[in-house]
Structure 1
Amino acid sequence: MFDTLRACLRTLALLCVTGLSVPGLHAETGVSDTRIVIGQSAVFSGPARDFGVDYRAGIQLYLQRTNKQGGVFGRRIELVSHDDAYEPKRTADNTVTLIEQDRVFALIGYVATGNLIASLPIAEKAGVPMFAPMVGTTSFRTTHNRYLFHVRASYESELRKIIGHLATLGIHRIAAVYQDSAFGKSNLDTALKIAAGLNVQVVESVPLAIAATDAQPQVAALNKARPGAVLMIMAGRMVEVFIRDYRATGAAAPLYTISVGITDAPGSASRLQGGLQGVVTASIVPPPTLTRYAIVAEYQRDRAEFGEKIDSYNALEGYIVARVFVEGLRRAGRDLTRQGFIQAMERIGTFNIGDFPVTYGPGNHNGSHYVDLEMYLADGRLVR
């Protein structure tokens, strides 16, 4: 009898050390008495690296603030990040590693539509929450997934804001250049539907490769169609390539981009030598220097305190994302489980992060609806 009891106790101790679940005991993967481990796969190398680097910096910034204040119920939050170089296959592999080897509690801060397509089924099968991917693609919003939570507004909201603005100005003939990827094609379809509903004609649409260094054929095709405005449904350095070649032709139609178009505005402005002037962008967070917004003032306060040099829209978005995530952890209570976290998020209703509202419920994991339009100056600053 005593041998059996000793064996049971040894087995119980082993399970607790390795973090495996034991019926009747609280032992969630990625959660201990002192820490919560979360995981991220994002682009940290290559031409689109600014997305992942800045997004992670913002997330880490608020985690530093949280940990300095004692964490959540005494647990520090640790972020494990892996580079996927913007490649969906690597994102899928990283997701398996994060779940099976790093044994994270939740996934956070993924980047790009194709990468989310590749990784979400893996997370869902494992029952791991996936929080705030930098993705606004419509299909992820219209099909409810219990494990997926958004914070940023959808690309549909951004495109509706842009195309509605053009219609109000009386511009009813537009053209589009889109990223030759799942992200670009899906959001072109969304733009076409929105345009049709607003009596706006898309007179030409052309794809551009992610790694393109020359956009002259695309520019020629769009100029031939003589649109009243050009909508860029792209992300990262390829936007610079298109703007450079478009401006070189002397074309006068105004350029519009969604929020992920320009990630390094000062760098883009310098490389384009004034060519960024007048480009209009959708923004899904307030300007990161406009401290009359409480959320921005708090973000800048924490940047100063923790010495964070990165300062961008994507970094501010990451900071907001981490604040919403930590709020969900707090509401889930001391006995933290994945299912408890999901339920806590669904009970939030409408909640203000500073003065930035987000809304969640059992059938609504979409978060924010904030979208505004801003215009770039030649030096990369934005004005309204």
Structure 2
Amino acid sequence: MKRVVHWLAAVLGLCITASAAAQIVVGQTSGFSGPVAAGVKEVSDGAKLYIDATNAKGGVNGQAIEIVAMDDKFDPKLAGENAKVLITEKNVVALFLSRGTPHTQAIVPLLDQYKVPLIAPSTGAMVLHKPVNPWVFNVRATYQREAERAVQHLSLIGMDHIGVIHVEDSFGADLLEGAKRGFAGVGKNAVFIEKYDRAKWDFAKIAPLVASSGVQAVLFIGSGNAVADGIEAIRKAGSRAQIVTFSNNASGGFVKSLKENARGVIVTQVFPYERSLSAPMVKEAHDLAVAKGLEGVSPAMLEGFAAAKVLVAALRRAGPAPTRAKIQQALESMNKVDIGGLEISYSAADHTGLDFVDLSIIGTDGKFRR
């Protein structure tokens, strides 16, 4: 029996503070357990900061927002099943913050079938950007742009001998395409390209290859625990190559999973620096987090916060009785909408939303530095 997780439920410690009963119901399926659970929690906590603040001020047009979340355990098949339950049984007006490329792909056929918008899938897969799906609204740059930018950066600092390790799924293939474009742009080729199984990863053969190849850097494409285990294996094999991974791993939970291997790992970012309080969105999220007793926000929390701002903006534009169709129309009417120092725009021909990409490095204190 599937486990339904309401953000109202104490079991996740995600209790919404609005006094009124939720009247706008939004659905989320994501890996609240499994290999990406730490990152999913941080993204969801970031979204909760803004939704709680909105509900505390009376909600949207007098209606509170409820996020009904289901745990798909980072299983694409279960993600699709959960989405159908949310759409057909929970009657959500929109889906929100799905996690993972194959997982979101499993949801997409339902969007057109039931005419339901999906806002801010937590993936930068190109397949969700081009061709434009009328029901998918991204709130982040593409993975291909991240990978291309990473190769360009490494080349700029004199690292030309670069290997690639990628998970064997649509997510891995997508980022690999961006990496190849990056290599072509600097006139280089990858020293090696190795793949691993998403569900049963094993780096026993790949790690010695990395060490013997003498590469200066490795682009490590994957999620959560798999990447942490792979980096550990590479270090045990004797390689000191610079490790670069991507924004899907930009969470404090991922840093903790790296343990002593965290320092020096480069992680691409798709939102402003989380400690730069001169950025209006960062300052707003930081202040709300501190008011709840937290030290501040992580990059993953900023992703969730930005996603929630877009969700709320769309609900406001959709009017006092938001429907799936009205929300979709409201999103496509958004042009240069300021969500805190970043402008988000959609049109019938472009559902990317934002194109911000930066790089960070994990410091000795376990925090991201830029």
1:371 aligns with 2:357: yes
Deviation at 1:213, TM superposition (A): 6.8
| Distance in 1 (alpha carbons) for counterparts of 2:64 and 2:332 | 23
Alpha-carbon offset, residue 356 of structure 1:
2.2
Tell whether 2:249 aligns with 1:261: yes
| CA distance, structure 2, for counterparts of residue 74 and residue 231 of structure 1 | 48
Confirm or deny that 1:318 pairs with 2:307.
Answer: no
Aligned residue number for residue 16 of structure 2: none
Q: Which of the residues 196, 218, 224 maps onto 1:236?
A: 224
Name 1:277's counterpart in structure 2.
263
Q: Write the deviation string for residues 9-44 of structure 1: whole angstroms up to 9, x where unpaired.
A: xxxxxxxxxxxxxxxxxxxxxxxx972100000001
Q: What code does the residue aligned with 2:203 have?
A: A
- The superposition leaves residues 171-217 of structure 1 with CA deviations (integer Å, 9 ceiling, x where unpaired) of 33311011132211232233223322331211211123335575231
Q: State the partner residue of 1:289.
A: 275
CA deviation profile, 1:101-154 (whole Å, cap 9, x unmatched): 101000001000010111111122100001111110112212101000000111
1:338-349 alignment, distance < 5 Å: 338-349=324-335
Q: Which moved more, 1:317-326 or 1:259-268?
A: 259-268
Pairing partner for 1:137 from 121, 125, 129: 125
Residues 308, 129 of structure 1: CA spacing in aligned structure 2 closer, same or farther, 3 A cutoff? farther
Q: Deviations over 1:226-254 (max 9, x none)?
A: 32321011110111112112122332321
**Cα distance in 1, alignment partners of residues 285 and 250 from structure 2:** 21
TM-score by length of 2: 0.88
**Amino acid corresponding to residue 48 of structure 1 in structure 2:** V
Shift of 1:218: 0.9
Structure 2 match to 1:19: none
Determine the C-alpha separation between the residues in 1 that align with 2:346 and 2:283.
Answer: 24
Given that 1:350 and 1:359 are in contact with CA atoms closer than 8 Å, whether structure 2 keeps it comes out as yes
Check 1:379–1:208 CA distance in 2 against 1; reply closer, same or farther (3 A cut).
Answer: farther
C-alpha separation between the residues in 2 aligned to 1:303 and 1:230? Answer: 35
Structure 1 unaligned blocks of 5 or more: 1-32
Aligned to 1:54: 42
Q: Which has the larger radius of gyration?
A: 1
Is residue 212–residue 241 contact of structure 1 (8 Å, CA) maintained in 2?
no
Contact persistence 2:25–2:92 (CA under 8 A): yes
Say whether residues 1:80 and 2:74 are aligned partners.
no
TM norm structure 1: 0.85
Question: 2: CA distance between counterparts of 1:339 and 1:310?
Answer: 36
Matches within 5 A, 1:31-50: 35-50=23-38
CA–CA distance in structure 1, aligned partners of residues 28 and 296 of structure 2: 19
Contact residue 25 and residue 68 of structure 2 kept, 8 A: yes
Say whether the 8 Å CA contact 2:272–2:279 is kept in structure 1: yes
The superposition leaves residues 29-80 of structure 1 with CA deviations (integer Å, 9 ceiling, x where unpaired) of xxxx972100000001122211222222111221111111111111111110
Q: Which amino acid counterpart does residue 120 of structure 1 have in structure 2?
A: V
Are 1:148 and 2:142 matched, yes or no? no
Aligned with 2:52: secondary structure? helix
1:122 aligned to 2:110?
yes
Aligned residue identity for 2:313: E
RMSD between aligned alpha carbons?
2.0
* Shift in alpha-carbon separation, 1:125–1:184, aligned structure 2, 3 A: same
Q: How many residues align?
A: 349
- Which residue in 2 is equivalent to 1:165? 153
- 2:97 and 2:119 in contact (8 A); partners too: yes
Change in 2 beyond 3 A, CA 1:170/1:190: same
CA contact (8 A) 1:295 1:354 kept: yes
Q: Does 1:360 align with 2:346?
A: yes
Are 1:104 and 2:56 counterparts?
A: no
Structure 1 residue 224: deviation in Å?
3.2
The answer to whether the Cα contact below 8 Å between 1:152 and 1:369 also exists between their aligned partners in 2 is yes
SS of residue matched to 1:90: helix
Aligned to 1:25: none
Alignment of 1:185-264 (within 5 A): 185-211=173-199, 214-263=202-251, 264=253
Instruction: Please state if 1:304 is matched with 2:290.
Output: yes
Give the Å deviation of 1:85. Answer: 0.1
Deviates more, 1:96-105 or 1:216-225: 216-225
Where does the alignment leave 5 or more consecutive residues of structure 2 unmatched?
A: 1-20
CA distance in 2, matches of 1:348, 1:155: 23
* Native 8 Å contact 1:265 1:380 kept in 2: no
Contact 2:50/2:309 (8 A) holds in 1: yes
Match of 1:333 in 2: 319
Moved more, 144-153 or 185-194: 185-194
